[in-house]
């Protein structure tokens, strides 16, 4: 049985969530009305996982989370609103140590629960098994860059062996970095992207599974942390060196050629892919237009297998690829799938990834 603590100031929301998880048959549930009760129940009930509302009286979710992570760290899934304010609070929660979040749609609570039923059950189950990271500190970009300690998987410098002709655009830069990430991604990206230096010579494309209302605030947050320019890819944009493009939530992101220049395009979600923005679709578009020997592909924490096939094919054709290691990934799903397919040039702790990217690109 999974011991679950549900924390919400709304009695109706507590009842709805409790009924939802009781119907699963393998949850033991306790309820809390505010952050103060959450801290107390975390010690008394000792849950395996907590769902935690952000906006509550007496003690809000962020304050409670900070105390939980000090007194008895446990996987936490935040329950957030769709507003920009809710997004910013969610990123702060992830920075404090929350594993994941689920967004409450608008409307009546009963309808909202039906809309998020599958998502919240799945995320709570994953979170119950997730690795908890210590809270991040402000000023990630000033962190000491560690030396590279890596495990080589196959030949990372193998010559390209294309199985189909590669059509190359007139690149504005020498190459391209692409990153795929899901659960646990915002905090992990905060430990990597700020360590890419000003003057970084390649564009960086990030496909982070995230709802539409969250990606712009996330890009703005990262722009404040990074030496590079960070933008949401919400419209067609010519790829420029030293710029990080965050795929717009609620859409997919692909690389295309326009007037001889590489361009990032947002596209409507492709139903053929399970997760969005799709890492697989991004990787496939890169395969069509960019010399794989000039690509660095990075697979970070996340559940599922999004991007594993495309990144493996990129490696076969000469790209250099990184899979985040199990000892740092919040969820070792996506990097594990890449490793299992033989698609990882190296497997690295997240603290080593920025240095490896810098080394390869320079």
The residues annotated as belonging to the active site are: 182, 209, 306
Preceding amide of 250 cis, omega within 30: no
- Which residues partner with 254 through β-bridges? 265
Distance, CA of 264 to CA of 199 (rounded, Å)? 20
Sequence-separated (6 or more) residues with CB below 8 Å from residue 16: 109, 110, 113
DSSP string, 269-306: PPTTSSSSS-HHHHHHHHHHHS-GGGEEEEE-SBSS-T
Distance, CA of 362 to CA of 354 (rounded, Å)? 12
Cα 309 to its chain centre, rounded Å, is 18
Q: Residue 210 half-sphere exposure, CB side, CA atoms within 13 Å?
A: 25
Q: Measured on CA atoms in the order 35, 39, 41, 47, is the torsion positive or negative?
A: positive
- Choose among 236, 276, 350, 271: nearest CA to 245: 236
Please classify residue 131 by burial: count the beta carbons closer than 10 Å to its beta carbon, then call 0-12 exposed, 13-18 middle and 19+ buried: middle
Distance, CA of 166 to CA of 168 (rounded, Å)? 6
Tokens of 29: 């549930």
CB distance 204 to 243 below 8 Å: yes
Distance, CA of 151 to CA of 140 (rounded, Å)? 25
Q: Tokens 């409790």 label which residue?
A: 18
Tokens of 346: 């190296």
């Amino acid at each position: 049985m999974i011991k679950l603590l549900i924390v919400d100031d709304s009695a109706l929301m507590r009842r709805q969530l409790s009924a939802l998880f009781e119907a699963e048959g393998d949850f033991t549930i306790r309820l809390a009305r505010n952050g103060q009760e959450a801290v107390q129940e975390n010690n008394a009930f000792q849950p395996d996982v907590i769902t935690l509302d952000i906006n509550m009286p007496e003690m809000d979710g962020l304050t409670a989370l900070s105390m939980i992570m000090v007194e008895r760290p446990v996987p936490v899934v935040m329950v957030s609103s769709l507003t920009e304010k809710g997004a910013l609070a969610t990123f702060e929660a992830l920075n404090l140590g929350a594993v994941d979040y689920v967004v409450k749609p608008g409307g009546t609570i009963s309808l909202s629960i039906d809309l998020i039923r599958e998502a919240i059950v799945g995320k709570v189950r994953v979170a119950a098994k997730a690795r908890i990271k210590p809270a991040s500190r402000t000023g990630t970009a000033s962190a000491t860059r560690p030396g590279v300690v890596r495990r080589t998987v196959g030949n990372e410098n193998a010559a390209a062996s294309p199985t189909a002709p590669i059509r190359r655009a007139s690149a504005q830069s020498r190459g391209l970095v692409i990153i795929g990430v899901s659960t646990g991604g915002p905090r992990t990206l905060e430990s990597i992207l700020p360590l890419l230096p000003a003057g970084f010579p390649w564009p960086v494309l990030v496909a982070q599974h995230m709802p539409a209302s969250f990606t712009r605030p996330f890009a703005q947050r990262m722009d404040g942390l990074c030496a590079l320019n960070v933008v949401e890819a919400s419209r067609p944009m010519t790829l420029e060196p030293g710029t990080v493009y965050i795929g717009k939530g609620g859409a997919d992101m692909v690389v295309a050629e326009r007037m001889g220049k590489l361009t990032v395009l947002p596209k409507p979600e492709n139903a053929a892919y399970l997760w969005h923005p799709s890492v697989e679709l991004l990787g496939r578009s890169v395969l069509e237009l960019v010399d794989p020997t000039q690509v660095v592909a990075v697979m970070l924490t996340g559940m599922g297998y999004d991007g594993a096939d495309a990144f493996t094919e990129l490696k076969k054709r000469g790209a250099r690829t990184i899979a985040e290691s199990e000892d740092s990934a919040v969820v070792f799903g996506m990097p594990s799938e890449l490793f299992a397919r033989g698609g990882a040039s190296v497997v690295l702790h997240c603290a080593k990834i920025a240095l490896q990217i810098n080394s390869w690109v320079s």
